[in-house]
Structure formats: structure tokens, C-alpha cells
């Protein structure tokens, strides 16, 4: 017999041998020898001064808990099977390829960037030398944007697919089983490259193909059917089904689709800044402590939202114990993002604080760009940040209180951002649409979290790649409504917002692409 129960464990009890068994025994009324337990979920409740760990347990009465997963991944030898071409090898592309192996079709992956090992050199170049490789950076390359920028797995997309299946697939490829338990699972940018490499090796082992430095520059379409894809080296590939999983920063793809008169839609998105606090400040607020947090507690995170002038102002991609990183994909722009290592043990906490932008109402001056108006607005803000930072990857920054007060900062706080910061009047440089709402939002956040609004925090510009400003439409069969054989997928298509949702969308697109082949 199996029963699920909920238990609360105090901070002083956490980690004590047998505490869960004793509490479960008391709750169930069974002796400890009569059952075994399996932890299904673990979370922290720090809303009050007394901190608790909440556990969800599966209790196996008069039987042993299963030692193996109920999930299995039955990959087939697809070396001689029909091909499915996949453009992009981020989460959507990776899980589309893995699903093809299960369905008996051969994934042929085309990735514009380099493999995870070789990406390191280009990431080092942007951090230390301020040199941006347009095809290999924090956004492009094996594993996509998530590989070297965090690995947060939390998602609200619970109705889009089997979230647990994605987690189990990650564990199958080397992730810690802890991600199956934690309420806000996280892998860490130091652990992800090996997992991504393992996924690639699975695809190759079963007969799939993965081609790096293979940038798609054109589509050849006949009678509304995608027939051929053209690569940068002028090689051509005949295709019947193409999953387009290029991510939210592949602007050249949006321009190509527009040039080919393939339908696109403008999409609302969000932009703003990164805010960086000493981690100890966030810990003291969230855990109600004055000194160092208890060693049993992870670096504290937060989630904030405020409505300002009919637009949401909210935290995005919060990184406790993390780093701010340069996420530009072209020279002449500055873009910042955040990431955390697996231990989340850096001295700083950072988060995007962004403003919702309604493309139909908020940027009338950009109407001349049609469906790409949001993209062009995004680009202009990134160019502004590049100029304000000194025309390098040095980012413009301001102390938080000075930004709200409208005062240039004479100096800045220490930072995790390797290319460095330059004091700039972001309060006057940012468009009013964004800047005025951010100032009101930060003031409101300071009231919600006492100590958050402080001169010890910097804001760093700009956080502009929260999501794609363009949607590539698709029908109920997940195929483009005008172009047969083209399956827009993941964040670049406007159908996902993170690793897990992109992976689930990749699986769905693989299933749709093979239908009828």
C-alpha cells in the first residue's frame, strides 16, 4: 500500500538521522519497521522567523520503495531511418532530437555555434577581451543559452507536457537526482556542459547527426513546401521536415523569414536591467538573520512583481550566489544576463528587473518596422548600452538608490560582471517607458523587502533578451500555416520561456514532424 503525506521539519531538526521516519511513523500510526519512504518534493518555508523544510513523501507500507525510475528512454538505431532536420541545438533542439530517436527517425542537427568545449574560448574572449563572436557566445553554441548561463529548471508550463520526463531525461544524462526533489531545481552552469555533451553522445550513438559551425542562411521553398536549406559554406541539404529551434536571439532567422515573405507576428516581451546585491543582504531579508545564514540553507532567492502604469514590473531569472554575464550576440551591443554555479556560492545575488512592453501600444515610433518593431526597439536599447558603457563590453551601471533619485553615481559597488562597469546616468538614458516604471518598481520592492532598496546594490544595463519579440506562427499540427514541412519550435518561435518548456516543446514538435512521414 502507498500513501502520500506532507511533513514539516524545523531548521534545527533538518539533517538528523531518522527524523523523517520518526515523524512519518507518528503521522501514520505504524512502527518504523513497517514502511519505507521516498522523498518526492522538498521546499523551504521562510515566510516567518521560524524556518521549516516541507517534505512530500511517498510511504510504502509493508513494501520497499522502488529503487529505479518508472521512466525509461528507449532509443532506437536510426542510422538508416528517415531524417528530420533540426536547426539549433539548444534545449528545444536537443529534446527534439532525443524524441526522434525514440520514434525511430534520424535527427540531423545543424548548430551555428561550436561544441561546449570550444565555446569556452569565445566566452573567455567576450569576458576578458570584449570580443563578440557572432556565432559562438553565451547564446549560441551547443546547449544554447542555458548551458553557460545557469540551468534553472523551474517552470509554470505544467500543462504543455510531462515536466517530470524532462527531469528524468536530464538525470539519465548525468544530472543529480536532487532535481527530481527540489521545488526550484537547478543544475548550475559548471555542471551543464557535461550533461549537454552526454546528450550529444546519445544522439550520435544511435545514429543521429550533429553538425557544428553549420549556420543556415537560406530556405528554398517550392509551392509552399520547404525543400532545401542552404548553409553558410554554400552546401545545400534536401529536406522534408525541419524543426526550427534557433532561440530568441537568432535575429538573422527572423530577417530571413521576413525577406522570404514567410508570415511572422510581433510579440510583446520585456526589457530592463540587472540588479546586483551582496548575497548576504538577500539572505538577511529572506531568512530573518543578521549575520551569516545557517549552513543548511541555500543562498536565498526572491520573486517580485508590481503593476506600474498598467504594465508589469517584475524580477526575471533571479540568480542567488551568481554572476552577471555579457550576453551580446553581435559587436556594438551590450546585453547582460545572469547565471549561478551549482553551489550558488558567489558573493552576489543578481536578478533581471524588467518592464512589460506591449508592442501594439508602447512603441508607435517603430511601426515602420512592421512585425519586427519589437526586435528593432530591443536592438536600439542594446546599442545605447554599448555607447553608454564606453563602446566595449563594459556595461553602464548606477547605484540603485542613485538611479531612483536621478543622480549620477560617483562610484559603484563591487560587481561579479567580469568585463567591468562604467558609471552612467541610466535614469535619463533609458526610455521613459522603461526607466520611470523601474524607478517606481524599485521603490515598491523596497517596501516589500525591507533592506532591498539600498545604495549597496548596483543596477546594470541592459537586460533585453527575456524572450523573443517575434512569434513564428504555427497551426494545431505545430506546422507553419503557410510553409509545409516547417515546424517553429521553442523560445525562438515564441512557444517557450526556459529550459524545461523549450525541451517539452521540442518533444512535441518532433512528434508532429514525424506524423505522416
Give pLDDT tens digits for 225-238.
999 999 998 899 99
Q: C-alpha grid cell for residue 133? A: 563572436
The Cα 459–Cα 168 span in angstroms is 37
The pLDDT of residue 149 is: 63
Q: What is the mean pLDDT of the chain?
A: 95
The Cα 337–Cα 138 span in angstroms is 9
Instruction: Identify the helix (H) or strand (E) that includes residue 471.
Output: strand 470-471
The model's pTM is 0.95
Give pLDDT tens digits for 347-402.
999 999 999 999 999 999 999 999 999 999 999 999 999 999 999 999 999 999 99
Is residue 159 pLDDT above 80, yes or no?
Answer: no
Give pLDDT tens digits for 166-221.
999 999 999 999 999 999 898 988 899 999 999 999 999 999 999 999 999 999 99
Which is nearest to 281 in space by CA: 218, 328, 351? 351
Give pLDDT tens digits for 438-454.
999 999 999 999 999 99
The pLDDT of residue 474 is: 98
The pLDDT of residue 158 is: 58
The pLDDT of residue 517 is: 87
Strand order through the sheet with 236-238: 216-222, 225-231, 236-238
CA angle (76 as vertex; 72, 77 as ends), nearest 5: 150
What single DSSP character describes residue 366?
G
Domains of the chain, with CATH numbers? 2-61 (3.30.70.2700), 83-265+472-514 (3.50.50.60), 268-463 (no CATH)
**Per DSSP, what are the bridge partners of residue 52?**
10, 45
* Residue 282 · residue 498 · CB < 8 Å: no
* pLDDT band of 157, cuts 50, 70, 90: low
- CA 97 vs. chain centroid, Å, equals 19
The Cα 38–Cα 67 span in angstroms is 9
Selected residue with higher pLDDT from 326 and 65: 326
- Average pLDDT on 241-253 reads 97
Q: C-alpha grid cell for residue 408? A: 549620477
- Average pLDDT on 122-132 reads 97
* pLDDT band of 95, cuts 50, 70, 90: very high
Is residue 147 pLDDT above 90, yes or no?
Answer: no
Neighbours of 193 (CB within 10 A): 18
Taking the chain, what is the end-to-end CA distance rounded to the nearest angstrom? 45
The pLDDT of residue 156 is: 63
* Residue 214 · residue 112 · CB < 8 Å: yes
The pLDDT of residue 22 is: 95
- Average pLDDT on 340-350 reads 93
310: left (phi over 0), alpha (psi -120 to 50) or beta: left
Amino acid at each position: 500500500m502507498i500513501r502520500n503525506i506532507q511533513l514539516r521539519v524545523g531548521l534545527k531538526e533538518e539533517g538528523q538521522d531518522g527524523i523523517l521516519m520518526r515523524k512519518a511513523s507518528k503521522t501514520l500510526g505504524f512502527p518504523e519497521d513497517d514502511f519505507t519512504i521516498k522523498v518526492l518534493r522538498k521546499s523551504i518555508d521562510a515566510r516567518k522567523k521560524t524556518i521549516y523544510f516541507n517534505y512530500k513523501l511517498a510511504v510504502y507500507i509493508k513494501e520497499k520503495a522502488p529503487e529505479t525510475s518508472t521512466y525509461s528512454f528507449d532509443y532506437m538505431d536510426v542510422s538508416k531511418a528517415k531524417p528530420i532536420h533540426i536547426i539549433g541545438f539548444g534545449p528545444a533542439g536537443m529534446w527534439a532530437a532525443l524524441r526522434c530517436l525514440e520514434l525511430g527517425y534520424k535527427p540531423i542537427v545543424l548548430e551555428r555555434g561550436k561544441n561546449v568545449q570550444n565555446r569556452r574560448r569565445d566566452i573567455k574572449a567576450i569576458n576578458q577581451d570584449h570580443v563578440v563572436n557572432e556565432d559562438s557566445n553565451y547564446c549560441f553554441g551547443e546547449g544554447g543559452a542555458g548551458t553557460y548561463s545557469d540551468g534553472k529548471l523551474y517552470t509554470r508550463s505544467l500543462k504543455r507536457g510531462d515536466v517530470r520526463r524532462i527531469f528524468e531525461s536530464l538525470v539519465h544524462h548525468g544530472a543529480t537526482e536532487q532535481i527530481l526533489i527540489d521545488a526550484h531545481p537547478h543544475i548550475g552552469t559548471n555542471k551543464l556542459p557535461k550533461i549537454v555533451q552526454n546528450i550529444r553522445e546519445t544522439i550520435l550513438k544511435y545514429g543521429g547527426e550533429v553538425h557544428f559551425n553549420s549556420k543556415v542562411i537560406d530556405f528554398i521553398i517550392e509551392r509552399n513546401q520547404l525543400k532545401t536549406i542552404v548553409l553558410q559554406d554554400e552546401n545545400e541539404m534536401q529536406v522534408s521536415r525541419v524543426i526550427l529551434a534557433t532561440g530568441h536571439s537568432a535575429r538573422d532567422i527572423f530577417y530571413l523569414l521576413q525577406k522570404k515573405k514567410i508570415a511572422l507576428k510581433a510579440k510583446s516581451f520585456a526589457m530592463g536591467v540587472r540588479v546586483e546585491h551582496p548575497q548576504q543582504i538577500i539572505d538577511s531579508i529572506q531568512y530573518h538573520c543578521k549575520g551569516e545564514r545557517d549552513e543548511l540553507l541555500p543562498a536565498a532567492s526572491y520573486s517580485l512583481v508590481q503593476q506600474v502604469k498598467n504594465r508589469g514590473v517584475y524580477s526575471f531569472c533571479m540568480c542567488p550566489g551568481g554572476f552577471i554575464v555579457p550576453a551580446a550576440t553581435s559587436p556594438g551591443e551590450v546585453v547582460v544576463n545572469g547565471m549561478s554555479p551549482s553551489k550558488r556560492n558567489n558573493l552576489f545575488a543578481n536578478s533581471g528587473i524588467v518592464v512589460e512592453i506591449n508592442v501594439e501600444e508602447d512603441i508607435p515610433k517603430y511601426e515602420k518596422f512592421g512585425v519586427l518593431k519589437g526586435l528593432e526597439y530591443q536592438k536600439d536599447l542594446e546599442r545605447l548600452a554599448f555607447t553608454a558603457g564606453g563602446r566595449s563590453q563594459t556595461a553602464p551601471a548606477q547605484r540603485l538608490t542613485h538611479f531612483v533619485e536621478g543622480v549620477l553615481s560617483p562610484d559603484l559597488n563591487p560587481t561579479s560582471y567580469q568585463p567591468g562597469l562604467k558609471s552612467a546616468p541610466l535614469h535619463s538614458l533609458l526610455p521613459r517607458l522603461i526607466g520611470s516604471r523601474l524607478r517606481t518598481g524599485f521603490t515598491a520592492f523596497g517596501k516589500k523587502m525591507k533592506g532591498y532598496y539600498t545604495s549597496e546594490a548596483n543596477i546594470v544595463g541592459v537586460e533585453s533578451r527575456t524572450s523573443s519579440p517575434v512569434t513564428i506562427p504555427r497551426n494545431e499540427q505545430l506546422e507553419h500555416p503557410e510553409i509545409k514541412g516547417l515546424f517553429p519550435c521553442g523560445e525562438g518561435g515564441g512557444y517557450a520561456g526556459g529550459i524545461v518548456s523549450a525541451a517539452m516543446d521540442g518533444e512535441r514538435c518532433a512528434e508532429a514532424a514525424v506524423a505522416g512521414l
